[in-house]
Structure 1
């Protein structure tokens, strides 16, 4: 099997020595080529090249941002040898994800261990046994996502965290907590919800303050603890949505407490939840922060979301 390992050299939990160990381990099972990303978006191009050159497996070493880029490269690749009538999972290379970032939500949602040595062992065993899983993806306008998207408050928090990291701060749960509190109390217009959710054949849900979209559960992790606004979300189904109609302190505190409980089931007059949705559009009266897979993409006024079933084969 021909495979390419796409490495983010800035991955936070690996070193050159650990990468060398990983390469030797993978070469015991596959014919391996190694490629390092050099800039943002480079992994997209590497994945497209892997499809064009007939690789059967793409392995990522990095965080969720690297995985997202590789997935987008695979899903948008063009090759004269591919049959467009086949489902993407049947015609594209399989994907294996070695956790190398700070959170690794996609890998952990697949059931892989958090640390890269243990994750590598699971992947090697799966390769030997031919074990794969087919997963669905989300599509936001023209960009795919693997586990989550956000429109509003959570995306604005990610923007704050990314700006702090560019100044040298380390990504920790406490950094996210401080960013969330600052954005909630100082950076949000909590009195005038501006988002509407439109679905084909359904009444519009308007005056929403913030929206979380999940392609699987959990939505994210706080250290070892999964955070599950929509605990029934699944790679095998459509998209799940949780929206808050207002960001008032009492109702928001209650919803957050429900989400962080051992059996999350957020409910209330200010909560809108939708399960297994095939498509919908978010429209806002003013620009809203927007993120995919924990990567801030800037402000948007409109985003169309679609569920893409049976999109990729994953080694896990």
Structure 2
């Protein structure tokens, strides 16, 4: 099988020696080409080229950002699972939500062993993905649609992601304590935490107004804090449409309550209460805001938007796991 291994050398949890060992192990079973990313968006470009070269498999060695770029490169011209290379992952980031959702261990060497077994046994499936299209601000260039593998966010959580990226640009490592600190800082600076500016519109339903936070999930768990899984909307699956958790208030008591519910969530029970709304298996919906708000997909901050349209696309991509 002709395969491309896309390596992010800045991946949080892999060393050069580990990458060499993994490359050697994969090359024993595959006709392997190795490419190292050199700039933001390079993994997307490499994956797009892999489609043109009729490569059979693309392997991401990196974190969720690397996986997202590869997925967007593979789907540059839209879903066609039987004609596109399959995707698989060796986790190398700090959280690795997509890899863990596929069932891989959160350790690159162990995950490589599982991947080789999956290849030998022909374990293949298709998964649904989300697609987000943001409306550009007046005078700005058109914003291309962006695919996401496990989550997106509009509002509060995207603001946290933006703060984390700023810290990483200053040389900070991406760690879970860093995220917790930025949640607290975002909360203290959030001007709309008592009355939100987001309206959710779904065809055939009454609009939901004044949301402060909106999490869009494509799989469960939504994320991890260390090894603790967090379920924003239990029951989310690669085999259904998108799920959404919206919160209309983030006062100190509310954020304490919903934060605790998120940390203690289970596959059957997530955040709930009078200021929480959960919707399951959505195909198309739109989030509008009265003011520009931060927007993220798969943990990648994409600037601010006033409107984002979301689409859940079933059977978008083949994966090996």
Report TM bin, short chain. Answer: over 0.9
**Using the alignment, how far apart are the partners of 2:159 and 2:233 within structure 1?**
20
Q: Is the 8 A contact 2:265 2:271 kept in 1?
A: no
Alpha-carbon contact 1:51-1:77 (below 8 Å) kept: no
Could you tell me how far apart the structure 2 residues matched to 1:68 and 1:262 are? 26
Structure 1 runs of 4+ aligned residues shifted over 4 Å read none
CA distance in 1, matches of 2:317, 2:279: 24
- Residue 52 of structure 1 contacts residue 77 of structure 1 at CA under 8 Å; is this kept in 2? no
| Maintained 8 Å contact 1:193/1:208 | yes
Q: Deviations over 1:9-57 (max 9, x none)?
A: 1112122222121111111111111111110011111111101011000
1:111 to 2:114 alignment: no
What does residue 275 of structure 1 align with? 280
Query: What runs of 5+ residues in structure 2 fail to find an aligned partner?
Result: 134-144
Q: Name which of structure 1's ranges 197-206 and 184-193 shifts more when overlaid on structure 2.
A: 184-193
**Could you tell me which residue of structure 2 aligns to residue 81 of structure 1?**
none
Structure 2 distance, partners of 1:101, 1:188, is 32
| Alpha-carbon distance in 2 for matches of 1:188, 1:152 | 11
CA distance, structure 2, for counterparts of residue 148 and residue 262 of structure 1: 17
Candidates 284, 289, 293, aligned match of 2:294 = 289
Q: Does 1:246 align with 2:223?
A: no
Matched, 1:34 2:37: no
Taking only aligned residues, the RMSD between alpha carbons, in angstroms, comes to 1.3
Shift of 1:192: 3.2
The answer to whether 1:183 aligns with 2:165 is no
Counterpart in the other structure of 1:303:
308
TM-score normalized by structure 2?
A: 0.93
1:214 is matched with which residue: 214, 217, 225? 217
8 Å contact from structure 1 (residues 153, 188) kept in 2: no
Q: Deviations over 1:205-245 (max 9, x none)?
A: 11111100000001111000011111211111000100001
CA distances 1:164-220 after superposition (whole Å, capped 9, x unpaired): 111122222211111101111223422331100111122111111110000000111
SS class of match (1:88) = coil
Matched, 1:198 2:190: no
- 258, 262, 266: which one pairs with 2:261? 258
User: Please, which runs of 5 or more residues in structure 1 have no aligned partner?
Assistant: 79-86
Aligned to 1:132: 124
Q: Give, in whole Å, the separation in 2 of the partners of 1:252 and 1:237.
A: 29
Aligned counterpart, 1:123: 115
**SS class of match (2:160):** helix
TM-score (norm 1): 0.95
Give SS of 2:104's match: coil
* 1:43 equivalent in structure 2: 43
- Write the deviation string for residues 263-287 of structure 1: whole angstroms up to 9, x where unpaired: 3332211001101111100000001
CA gap 1:77/1:21 in 2 versus in 1, 3 angstroms? farther
Looking at structure 1, the residues matched to 166 and 99 of structure 2 have their Cα atoms a distance apart, in angstroms, of 25
Alpha-carbon contact 1:135-1:235 (below 8 Å) kept: yes
- CA distance in 1 between partners of 2:83 and 2:53 (Å): 13
What is residue 83 of structure 1 aligned with on the other side?
none
Is residue 231–residue 265 contact of structure 2 (8 Å, CA) maintained in 1? Answer: no
How many correspondences in the alignment? 308
Does 2:83 match 1:91?
A: yes
Paired residue secondary structure (2:177): helix
By how many angstroms is 1:61 displaced?
0.6
